[in-house]
Amino acid sequence: MARIEDIAKKLKVSKGTVSKALNGAPDVSETLRKAVLETAVELGYSRSMHKKGAKTLCLFIENMTYTEPGDFGYDIVTGFRKAAEPAGFVVRVVPLAEQLQAQISYDEYMLQNNYVAAFFLGLSLSDVWLDQLKASRTPAVLLDNRIPANPASCYVGVDNGEAMDLAIAHLKALGHRRVGYLSGYLGSYINQVRYNAFFQALQKNGLPDDPCLAGSAYYSSECLQKHLPALLEQKVTAILCSHDLLAHTVMIHCQERGLRVPEDISIIGFDDLPLCGYTVPPLTTLRQDRTQLGKSAFYALSSLLAEVPISTLLLHPKLMVRQSTGSAPPQP
C-alpha cells in the first residue's frame, strides 16, 4: 500500500505539499492537486490507513427517495447511521448524479473528500462509476448490486431466491397453478436476479414456467397496458410483482377490469413498504427489513475496512400474508 512519501517521490515534490494537496489546502494549485489525486489513485494510496480521528463514510443515493419515513430508502439510511455513528464514523449522504460521475473519477472523488468507504443505494448498470468500482481499492458496499471479484466490494440485500420460493409455495398451497410475474426494468441487477429467481421458484415447485408468464418494462404504464392483459389471457390466477408500488397499481387495474382481489386473482408485492397495510385489500408482500439492511451494510463496510473480504451478505425475507392472496378460483 502506497504512502505519502511514494506520491511525493513520484511527483518530485515534498511530503508536505502532497499532504496539503490531499487535504485541499488553498495554496496548492489546481493542476498540482489533480496530479496528486491521480497519482494517489494510481499508486493505491488509501486514506483509510492514514487519516486520524473520525472517519467519514459516503452514502450515495440515486433515484431513491429517503427523506420521509415510508420512503424505501429512509429506514436503510437510518439503520446505516444507527450502526455507523456509534462506532465513531461520520456519514455523508450524497446524491449520485450522472453529472458528478462525468466530472470526476470515483477514486478521485473519494480521496478528494476524505471518504474512507462508500455505501451505494440504487446504482444502475448504466452508471459510469460502475466500471470504475470493479478496479477500485476503496471499500464499497452496494445494496442490490454486485461487483464480482473485487475483494474491496460487497453486495448486500435480501435473499431473492428464498423470497420467490416463499411466495410461490404460498400460492401453490392456495391451489394456484398458473402464476405470472410483472417486473420493473431489467437493466437493473436486482430486477434481473428477481426475474431469474421467479422462474427457478416455479421450477422448484413444479409449476408451469413458460417465458410468456413474465413481462417487464421501464415504465409501469407499459406493464399495465401490454403485459398485464397478456398475463390475463394466459389465464394466470396470481401475479407476483417485483415491487410493491407496481403491485398496488396492478391490483387497481385488475379491479378496474372487474376482477376481484383475491377471489378472481391474487396479487403479491415485494419490499413491504408501509403502504401495504393500507391498500384495498391490504397487500401480501415479501418483506425486506430495511433497518437491518442498513445495519448489515455498515457491518459489511467495517469488515472490508478491516480487510475481511466479505463478498455477499443477504438477509432472510419474510412473507407478509395479508388479504390480496386467497384460494385459486375454481377452474372452468
Q: Is residue 159 near a second copy by the rule CB under 8 A?
A: yes
- All 3 cell numbers of residue 242? 417485483
Q: Is residue 86 near a second copy by the rule CB under 8 A?
A: no
Residue closer to a second copy, measured from CB, 19 or 311: 311
Q: What DSSP line would sit under 183-220, residue for residue? A: ES-TTSHHHHHHHHHHHHHHHHTT----GGGEEE-SSH
Closest distance of CB 315 from a second copy, Å: 5
Q: Is residue 162 near a second copy by the rule CB under 8 A?
A: yes
* Residue in 166, 246, 247, 301 binding a second copy, rule: CB under 8 A: 166
Cis before 281 (ω within 30): yes
Q: Is residue 90 near a second copy by the rule CB under 8 A?
A: no
- All 3 cell numbers of residue 98? 450522472
Helix (H, G, I), strand (E, B) or coil at 284: strand
Q: Is residue 75 near a second copy by the rule CB under 8 A?
A: no
Phi then psi for residue 31, to 5 deg, are -65, -45
Helix (H, G, I), strand (E, B) or coil at 116: strand
The answer to whether residues 104 and 59 touch, using CB atoms and an 8 Å cutoff, is no
Considering only the stretches 17-25, 125-133, 218-226, 312-320, report the one whose residues sit in contact with a second copy under the rule CB under 8 A: 312-320
* Residue in 50, 226, 235, 316 binding a second copy, rule: CB under 8 A: 316
In order of 25, 225, 239, 260, 328, the CA distances from 253 in angstroms are 59, 9, 12, 11, 19
Q: How many residues bind a second copy (CB under 8 A)?
A: 25
Residue at grid coordinates 384495498: 280
Q: Is residue 150 near a second copy by the rule CB under 8 A?
A: yes
Q: Is residue 309 near a second copy by the rule CB under 8 A?
A: yes
Q: Is residue 296 near a second copy by the rule CB under 8 A?
A: yes
CA dist 87 and 107 (Å) reads: 24
* Residue in 295, 301, 325, 326 binding a second copy, rule: CB under 8 A: 295
* Residue in 149, 211, 233, 332 binding a second copy, rule: CB under 8 A: 149
Q: Is residue 308 near a second copy by the rule CB under 8 A?
A: yes
Q: Is residue 102 near a second copy by the rule CB under 8 A?
A: no
* Residue in 44, 70, 95, 151 binding a second copy, rule: CB under 8 A: 151
Q: Is residue 44 near a second copy by the rule CB under 8 A?
A: no
Residues 6+ apart with CB under 8 A from 206: none
Q: Angle between the 15-22 and 30-43 helix axes, to the nearest 10 degrees?
A: 100
The answer to whether residues 82 and 299 touch, using CB atoms and an 8 Å cutoff, is no
The residues that touch a second copy, with contacts defined as CB under 8 A, are: 148-151, 158-159, 162, 165-166, 289, 292, 295-296, 299, 303, 308-316, 318
